[in-house]
Amino acid sequence: MAVPEQSFIRGTIALSVAAFINRILGFISGMYIARVLGPEGIGLLMMAHPLVPLVITITELGLPVAISKLVAEAHARDERLKVRRILHVSLAVTGVLSVALTTLSLLGSEWIASILLSDQRAYYAMLAITPIAPIVAMSAVLKGYFRGMQQMKTIAVSDVLEHTVQIACVLALVHLLLPYGVAYAAAGAMAASVVSEMFSLLFLTAGYRLYGEKKAKGETWSSHLKHGRSTLRELLQIGLPTTGTGVIHSLYGAFQPLLISSSLALAGIGTVLATKQFGLLVGYAFPLLYMPSFITQSLSTALIPAIGEAAANNNDRLMHERMNQALRLGLLIGAPATVILFVWSTPLTTLIFGSSEAGVLLKVMAPMFFLHYFDAPLHAILLGLGRANATLWNYIVATAFKITAIVVFGSHFGIIGVAYGIGIGIVMQTLLNFFSVSGTIGIYVIIRPYVKVSFCMVIMSISGHWAFQYLTSLGLPLLWRSAGSIAIALLVYFAVLLFTDIGRWKNGRRPITIPR
């Protein structure tokens, strides 16, 4: 078991480091765009984007997730021919679908814009981002292969390359097109994503040619496709439920701007102000909320093949070990992140985006978003166990609750109500995934660490608030007040963790058992 353990840990570390670098690069790019385009321009960007995930989801058919699981199993059994066949069949299906749907999207772009875009100025941005679909779909298939082969470093390097190219293109294109208006500048920012994704795909292709499975003598694409029906059937058994989840997610994302704008209209808010508020929520608050989750997201990427392999070998002990690692990481990372985003919400949005208005939205969502740091690992565990259907139904129920909450609260309380509605959906989805995992393999929860971390969060909040007030009384600039008080609060948090001996999870006397 030493090799799988080392591969799992090394893969998680490589993806975490890359994700951290990417978040930093993303923030640099995001700060520049936010300051140059303003809330209105960010709103246009967010409105133009949702159509593309829908096209990508349909073309992928959930294959990247299925590929990582099936390749891991085939590689463990040394079935090299099957590994290559999985990849070839997936690339063929994805390539044909992505090109066809992207062509249809471009031809019907004006009609699609008239339905989905509440602000027609977002049309150019939508048009600029549409060609990205086939590029992302093909990259996702190759990443699924590398995940299954436990070659996480290749994925990590490609992601860093993508974000590096993207920030360079964003700086150039936004600066070049801004004199023609905010709509064209937003389109330039979208076009930068297309260029960066192309560089990433080229790198992944080169990586496969150098390090991928070498084909046998006489092996051709046509031979793989001719004998690939059973392989395609295996892929779709896992991929289709995942596609269902992705389609619903993409449909919700496509109609989210219209849903939020309509809810705000019912609250008496005009189109221009609604676009600005939507930009504050999705373009300013969301990036900060998602920033700390890069570690759990990286862990989730490595979890799917690891859990799949353990499940294939009926290794319950290893499955529970992986699950406990994921939940522990979600707790220890999510707790201080939630406190920082809640207590320093307005200073953070003011310093990073130059907008104090977004701080209110960040403060509202931070406590509910705490459960998001557990959701990604739980979702990955279900996929690794082959329970893609459960993730689909959980997402359907959570999305239904979220849509209802957005309409009800948004129409009565404006953008604050919308934030509460989105938060309710996050809470619901995490809880449903938790109970699905417990119903499959059981969950053994040691309650003491959660109580202790809650206590540490309270102490961190109090000490951080006091430190910020004290530094304010000294007349320090906002940057130094925020950085200093956050540093003090984190030191207090980790000191209390050490004092309460929270790191020793195995010391919990009476775990709560949630049986299958």
Widest CA span of the chain, in angstroms? 77
Answer whether residue 108 shows pLDDT above 60: yes
Q: What per-residue confidence (pLDDT) applies to 217?
A: 59
Looking at the predicted structure, is the pLDDT value of residue 347 above 90?
yes
pLDDT surpassing 50 at residue 316: yes
Mean local confidence (pLDDT), 411-431: 89
Mean pLDDT for the stretch of residues 47-53: 66
pLDDT of residue 445: 64
Confidence check: pLDDT of 61 > 60? yes
Band of pLDDT at residue 483, cut at 50, 70 and 90: very high
List, in order, residues 6 or more apart from 142 with CB less than 8 Å away: 87, 201, 204, 205, 207, 208
State mean pLDDT over 288-304.
Answer: 76
Q: Is the pLDDT of residue 340 over 90?
A: yes
Q: How far apart are CA 314 and CA 322, in angstroms?
A: 14
Q: Whole-angstrom Cα distance, residue 512 to residue 270?
A: 51
Query: Could you give the percent of the chain with pLDDT greater than 70?
Result: 86
Sequence-separated contacts (24+) of 111-118 with Cβ below 8 Å: 112/51, 116/47, 116/50, 116/51, 116/254, 116/255, 116/257, 116/258, 117/47, 117/48, 117/257, 117/258, 118/47, 118/257, 118/258, 118/261, 118/262, 118/271, 118/274, 118/275
Share of the chain above pLDDT 90, in %: 14
DSSP symbol at 506 = G
Q: How far apart are CA 246 and CA 433, in angstroms?
A: 16
pLDDT for residue 398: 92
The total of other beta-carbon atoms located within 10 Å of residue 404's CB is 13
- Confidence grade of residue 343 (pLDDT, cut at 50, 70, 90): very high
Q: What is the mean pLDDT of the chain?
A: 80
Per-residue pLDDT averaged across 70-86, rounded?
A: 77
Q: Which of 38 and 118 is assigned the larger pLDDT?
A: 38
Residue 272 pLDDT > 90, yes or no?
no
- For residue 443, list its beta bridge partners: 514
Average pLDDT over residues 332-346: 90
According to the model, what pLDDT value does residue 318 have? Answer: 76
pLDDT tens by residue, 487-512? 999 999 988 888 876 545 444 444 44
**Per-residue pLDDT reduced to its tens digit, 231-257:** 777 787 777 777 777 778 777 877 787
pLDDT band at 482 (very low <50, low <70, confident <90, very high): very high
For residue 24, the tally of other CB atoms under 10 A from its CB is 14
- pLDDT band at residue 466 using 50, 70 and 90 as cut-offs: very high
- As a whole number, mean pLDDT of residues 418-427 equals 90
Residues 6+ apart with CB under 8 A from 175: 36
Query: What is the predicted pLDDT for the residue at 218?
Result: 56
Q: Residue 1 has what pLDDT?
A: 39
What are residue 510's phi and psi, to 5 degrees? -130, 90
Lowest mean pLDDT among 56-65, 95-104, 492-501: 56-65
